[in-house]
Chain A
Amino acid sequence: MTLAPPPMPPAGAPRSLIDKLFDSHSIVTLEDGQALLWIDRHFVHEGSHHAFARLAATNTAVSRPHLTFGVADHYVPTRGRGCPIADAGIARMVAQLEQNTARHNILLFGLDDPRQGIVHVVGPEQGLTLPGLTIVCGDSHTSTHGAFGALAFGIGASEVAHVLTTQTLWQQRPRRLLVRVDGPLGMGIGAKDIALTIIARLGADGGVGHAIEYAGSTITALSMEGRMTLCNLSIECGARCGMVAPDETTFAYLRGRPFAPDAFDAAVADWRRLPSDPGCVHDRAISLDATEIAPIVTWGVTPEQALPIMARLPDPEAADPAARAQMRAALDYMALRPGQALTDIAIDRVFIGSCTNARIEDLRAAAAVLSGRRSVVPGMVSPGSSLVKQQAEQEGLDRVFIEAGLEWVASGCSMCVGMNGDLLAPGERAASTTNRNFKGRQGPGSRTHLMSPAMVAAAAVTGHLTDVRPLLAGRG
């Protein structure tokens, strides 16, 4: 048996946002369902060196250099910016990106560029990310850009080389998963809590082969920052991408951005045709009631191992036998006891950063909790981009973090993946705004609890996992 591709909607039938994006970029479709897609925007970073090496080996040119953009983020130092990079290997990674982009005439937001930042923050911030586009990057959290109503997904090095060479990519049409969230969110609850709740419900592989469309009143009420956090985490339930239909919030965010279209109104007229048609079919659908979403944290080693902060840790003995071994291994690795209250888990360090939760709104949410308080554990705050850093400093948020005892550093992937040397020590436990609690993700032997920026701030001031809501009482 082979896996049948999902059916194409018949001509004239109502179509989903996903199908509209897929159809409008299909150059040819083969009998087996594979389509050759045109790629509108391509981002590369230091980790794209394998793809450039492939081009060099075959002496191949980049076919459309003006559609690829380079961003230095994965390896960049967050301290001592402006000084030479001490670690030779890291310096080589940053220099290699500079050489490769220069050689192929690709615009680079490099280490010293005032627009530098994490690729998934920089693209939208610069207006390079737009509704109706196909966007790819050799990084799985490319799903972030779907917040604008784009078909955006992460690819591997072979595919990066293919896009550089042809500006196209072979893809199978994804299945369509509609996730509806309706109702008002409680105080102190944000997009990260929605996303982790969805992942816990679907499972870390529940979305494999699917594109998620997020809809409902809770989603349309989210800011672009919130929508980006939500779409960013789509990959953590295995979905290829996530997206939100573009609306007035989207257009208002984009108007006037440096790379936004000059003919903005004509573009908006096009973008208004993107939302799913009434009556279109999704392959699957789930719905959530926003009033039931609580602040949520992960306790294990996959993002699906997440529970509301008021809960206690599960007991493997009470779990079904298939899940027991996995649960026991996760508790062992995390050095936690079955039945322990989540709020009894003491932490050693906090990290606020990453493409998931380091945009201006995230920093404001953390600062609202930290203001006038001290963190009882060390930690660092790395803004999503150098422009976010600048804006935060204009708003005085840097003072809040510094006065709370946290380190305010430059922008990059930093402790999300630790490639630049920002790591947890073996055995250290962090409350982190990042996206992956995998074993060793933040350094060998590291233990990561994922949560929202407000919840990380709450953990910082109490020294253990904490419900942020009482800490917000009486604060705007």
Chain B
Amino acid sequence: MRPFTRLDAVACALPIVAVDTDQIIPARFMQRPRSEGYAPVLFHDLRTDPAFPLNLRPDAKILVARRNFGSGSSREAAVYALVDYGITCVVAPSFGDIFAANSVNNGLLPAKVTEAEAGALLAVLADGRLMLVVDLATQTIAAGNLRVDFTIDPAWRTKLLNGWDDLDLTRSHSAAIEAFALADARARPWLQPNPRGRSF
């Protein structure tokens, strides 16, 4: 995964509450293999409206939205669609938990700000300013004179900054995993599923 350090890019204002994963990618597109790319289906049903903000800022790499971005389904395809399109940071007052975890696993930064800060950033973008600078090291977003701090889980921050994949970290603990599995099977023998199941 590519590390995320600093992003100096065009931002798009999406002043909508609860941009759910069904909006980001409608379910009917989820048969697609990843190799086909998900960019064409990002916000598919919203983009049919020529006035949809992303149609006016097609080169955006940052989205600024209202609260509860990415609520809903666990579909990682929502993040694939954003990332394949080129969006690597979403700024919002709150995120769906699973969406945020999926984002970090794909190098997309979910930057959490307060409602007021999201409002201020949206106002700046509405004034016609296009560029934001998002710095993960200092956890700040700059838009001209406006500077906003954002929050993120410390473990996620480290992961994004280094471009780490969980699997590498997990493998370094494989001895502990094996020991846990053995001890647990002894302590809770009942939890091993009966392989066939009984008739019911």
Contact = CB atoms under 8 A, between A and B. Distances in A.
B101 A159 contact: yes
A113 to B, nearest CB: 11
A252 B91 CA distance: 47
Interface stretch (B55-63, B73-81, B127-135): B73-81
A263 B192 CA distance: 11
A155 B68 contact: no
Contact of A438 (B17, B72, B76, B171): B72
Contacts of B186: none
B163 interface: no
Interface in B153-200: 153-155, 157-158, 166-167, 169-171, 173-174, 176-177, 180-181, 184, 188-195, 197-200
Nearest to A49: B33
B98 A1 contact: no
Given A38-B181, A156-B98, A156-B102, A53 B155 contact: no
A378 interface: no
A159 B104 CA distance: 11
B152 interface: yes
B33 A53 contact: yes
A156 B101 contact: yes
Given A34-B155, A208-B97, A261 B76 contact: no
B26 A444 contact: yes
A132 B188 contact: yes
Contacts of A186: none
Interface residues of B, number: 70
Interface string A144-159: 0000000001111111
B115 interface: yes
A412 B172 CA distance: 40
A155 B74 contact: yes
Contact of B102 (A158, A205, A257, A301): A158
Interface string B47-89: 0000000000000000000111001111111010000000000
Interface in A104-132: 107, 126-128, 130, 132
Contact of A170 (B22, B73, B154, B170): B170
Contact of A240 (B33, B97, B200): B97
B23 A438 contact: yes
Contact of A205 (B67, B76, B101, B152): B67
A326 interface: yes
A1 B139 contact: yes
A436 B22 contact: yes
Nearest to B103: A156
B154 A32 contact: yes
A139 interface: yes
Contacts of B68: 204-205, 208, 238, 302
B76 A50 contact: yes
A36 B177 contact: yes
Contacts of B17: 302, 326
A439 B22 contact: yes
Most B C-beta atoms less than 10 A away, residue of A67, A126, A127, A168? A168
Contacts of A139: 73-74
A238 B96 contact: yes
B182 to A, nearest CB: 11
Nearest to A387: B200
A50 B25 CA distance: 15
B95 interface: yes
Nearest to B17: A326
B45 A441 contact: no
Contacts of B149: 1
Given A36-B177, A50-B34, A156-B74, A258 B199 contact: yes
B18 interface: yes
Contacts of A205: 18, 67-68, 71, 94, 96
Given A27-B176, A139-B74, A263-B190, A441 B22 contact: yes
A50 B152 CA distance: 27
A27 B76 CA distance: 26
A1 B34 CA distance: 35
29 contacts: A3-B152, A27-B176, A30-B155, A32-B158, A38-B181, A50-B34, A66-B193, A126-B200, A142-B74, A154-B98, A156-B76, A156-B101, A158-B105, A158-B166, A166-B167, A166-B174, A167-B181, A168-B170, A168-B177, A172-B155, A238-B68, A238-B96, A240-B97, A264-B190, A267-B190, A322-B115, A326-B66, A438-B23, A440-B22
List the 6 shortest-distance A-B pairs measured between CB atoms, nearest first: A258-B197, A261-B190, A156-B102, A158-B105, A267-B190, A156-B76
Interface of A: 1-3, 5, 27-28, 30, 32-34, 36, 38, 40-41, 47, 49-50, 53, 66-67, 75, 89-90, 92-93, 107, 126-128, 130, 132-133, 138-140, 142, 153-159, 162, 165-168, 170, 172, 204-205, 208-209, 238, 240, 256-259, 261-264, 266-267, 270, 301-302, 322, 325-326, 329, 417-419, 436, 438-441, 444
Interface of B: 15-18, 20, 22-23, 26-28, 30-31, 33-34, 45, 66-68, 71-77, 79, 94-98, 101-102, 105-106, 112, 115, 139, 149, 151-155, 157-158, 166-167, 169-171, 173-174, 176-177, 180-181, 184, 188-195, 197-200
